[in-house]
Structure 1
Amino acid sequence: MSEFRDWYNSVPFFTRYWLTCTIVLSLIGRFGLINYYNLVLDFYPFINQFQIWRPVTALFFYPIGPGTGFHFLINCYFLYNYSQRLETGMFAGKPADYFYMLLFNWACCVIIGLLVNLPLLMDPMVLSVLYVWCQLNKDVIVSFWFGTRFKAMYLPWVLLAFNMILSGGGVMELLGILIGHLSFFLQFKYPQEFGGPALLNPPAFLKQIFPDTRYVGGFGTAPQARAPTRAGGGGGGTVFGGHNWGRGHTLGGN
């Protein structure tokens, strides 16, 4: 039990509680402790009956059953793996910045969910975080099923195609990619490459609640700012190892 406690405490703060709330709320719905309909996003009760908890519970709840259990576990794996990498990598020492990015992605999921009647937000939210990590680590080699290997920048699209082939879906993945791309563009690409203002900087009160620390991480490289002169350098970043499907990443030079 002490090993589990040590592992649990080692998981970064936001990743830890996002994963915990997801598992707990999904199990509560699975065993019928709360009617699962009260946990999903539904426009009418949210607006007309003021059930304001629905956007939050729709993020954490996922219906676990014989046909969805494996997909739920894969989602939890992606959540843990890529949220942890972002939190301890590009956002290391900047908890308010990471929390603000999560809030932005979640708000986009809620708005789209209300517009298109999307009751569950776990899929697009997890894919949006995975997409941001993949954009920050484009040249990292990742391994997928059956020994296939490719650059991380293609992973979200592989998952989209994979789900379309297996289940005829893909809408959730596409929404996650679009939300992740918007988040990445506003937070990194627009200010760094196009010289625009930083549109996703957290407000001062979040910085007070989650103050910056001095820890510096080592995974992911933001897009480089364009040089003001004609003599420009490449915009690539440092590449750090890959990972095996279903396992943690392996550090190594490229």
Structure 2
Amino acid sequence: MSSQIMDVYMQTPPMARTLATAIFVTSIFAHFGVLPYAWLYFTEDRLFHLPPEIWRLVTSFLLSSPQFGIILDPYFVYTYVSHLETSNPKFPRKEDALWYLITVGGIIITVNRLFLGNAFFLQGLTMALCYTATQDQRGAKAGFLFFTVPAQLMPYCMLLYSLLMNPMAIPLQLSGLFAAHLHDFLTRIWPEFGGGPNLLSTPAFVSKLVTTPRFLQREYGTAIRPQSSNQPSGGARGASTGSVLPDSWKTRGSGHRLG
């Protein structure tokens, strides 16, 4: 039984499952007192200690809200990242989705440290992921609480919910929305409509991070992976299966993005 669960787990999109698992485990340890919060939050001066505490660039995105947030936050992150990783047309390669996470995360950190003073950023990242994942689902419908809304309005529904339930989270969420808008402008709107270059194109070193080695070590020998120019990318292979929306919503039509 456990091996079957592990098999299903390993078949999920790797970036989505890694990030969601890291959020869940880190939040469990932190909220139950096993892991001190002081080890996780981001502050600039810690980056210049010896040794530099560079892990805070990552751990500051891994703390969920308490109680139900321990389950819901990893779920939403997994849902949106798996869509970006497998079926979003903006990210035809896995390295493009990884570079999106890096650049959007950097924008969120910069905005919060310059203007807002927040030290944890998961809710901002979730808002950015929600915006990017749903903007290409125009024409589809999504359920939010007891209402059905156009999919592209989901980020604004989240803001409305925070206004009623947790107004203190709104500035952080707005920073994530700004980061997603800025990324979309620099990578899509400016090149397509402004005639300029893609200012956030994926660098080569990110591609090397996610490239599967040609030589695969096995217990019974070495397998050589043949190189084929016809092999589809990770995004293309998952395009028919991954989606941020349930199948029942897709009957409303895929919609078209205008500008």
- Of 210-219 and 88-97, more deviation after overlay is shown by 210-219
8 Å contact kept, 1:95–1:211: no
Q: Identify the match of residue 59 of structure 1 among 55, 58, 61.
A: 61
Tell me the distance in 2 between the aligned counterparts of 1:192 and 1:249. 32
1:70 aligns to 2:68 (yes or no):
yes
Alignment of 1:6-17 (within 5 A): 6-17=7-18
Query: 1:112 and 1:253 mapped to 2: Cα distance?
Result: 37
Helix, strand or coil at the partner of 1:252: helix
1:56 partner amino acid:
V
Contact 1:187–1:201 (CA under 8 A) maintained in structure 2: yes
Structure 1 position 83 matched with structure 2 position 101:
no
Q: Which amino acid aligns with 1:108?
A: I
Contact 2:131 2:155 in 1 (8 A): yes
3-state SS in 2 of match to 1:186: helix
Evaluate the alpha carbon distance shift between residue 178 and residue 92 of structure 1 in structure 2; reply closer, same or farther with a 3 A threshold. Answer: closer
Relative contact order higher in (CA < 8 Å, ≥ 6 apart)? 2
Mark the runs of 5 or more structure 2 residues left unpaired by the alignment: 213-230, 254-259
Asked whether 1:173 is paired with 2:191, we answer: no
Structure 1 residue 96 displacement after superposition? 1.1
Q: CA deviation at 1:36?
A: 1.3
Aligned to 2:221: none
Task: Answer yes or no: is the 8 Å Cα contact 1:140–1:241 preserved in 2.
Answer: no
For 2:109, the equivalent position in structure 1 comes to 110
How far apart are the structure 1 equivalents of 2:102 and 2:95? 10
- Does the aligned pair in 1 maintain the 2:139–2:252 contact within 8 Å? no
User: 2:52 aligned with 1:34, yes or no?
Assistant: no
- What amino acid sits opposite 1:77 in the alignment? Y
Q: Distance in 1 between matches of 2:167 and 2:206?
A: 41
The residue that corresponds to 1:162 in the other structure is 161
Corresponding residue for residue 182 of structure 2: 182
Aligned to 1:232: none
Among 211, 214, 222, the residue aligned to 2:232: 214
Letter in 1 for 2:57: P
Aligned residue identity for 1:132: T
- Cα deviation, residue 192, structure 1: 2.3
Q: Is the 8 A contact 1:112 1:118 kept in 2?
A: no
Judged with a 3 Å threshold, the aligned counterparts in structure 2 of structure 1 residues 117 and 18 are, in CA distance, closer, same or farther, namely: same
TM-superposed CA distance for 1:45, in Å, is 3.3
3-state secondary structure, aligned to 1:52: coil
Question: Which residue of structure 1 aligns with residue 138 of structure 2?
Answer: 138
In structure 2, relative to structure 1, the CA distance for the partners of 1:93 and 1:211 (3 Å cut) is farther
Q: CA deviation at 1:201?
A: 1.3
Q: CA deviation at 1:84?
A: 0.6
* Partner Cα distance (1:15, 1:87) in 2: 8
2:223 — aligned with what?
Answer: none
Structure 1 equivalent of residue 26 of structure 2: 25
TM-score norm. by structure 2 comes to: 0.77
Q: Is residue 94–residue 211 contact of structure 1 (8 Å, CA) maintained in 2? A: no
Change (3 A) 1:214 1:3: same
Matched residue type, 2:190:
Y
Give me the whole-angstrom Cα distance separating, in 2, the residues matched to 1:188 and 1:12: 25
**What amino acid is aligned across from residue 59 of structure 2 in structure 1?**
T
What TM-score results when the alignment is normalised by the length of structure 1?
0.78
Report the CA distance shift for 1:249/1:55 in structure 2 as closer, same or farther (over 3 A): farther
Q: Give the alignment's Cα RMSD to 1 decimal.
A: 2.5
Q: C-alpha separation between the residues in 1 aligned to 2:57 and 2:145? A: 33
Letter in 2 for 1:31: F
Mapped partners of 1:74, 1:241: distance in 2: 15
Change (3 A) 1:137 1:251: closer
What stretches of structure 1 of length at least 5 have no aligned partner? 220-239
| Percent identity of equivalent pairs | 23
Mapped to 1, the partners of 2:248 and 2:69 lie a distance apart of: 21
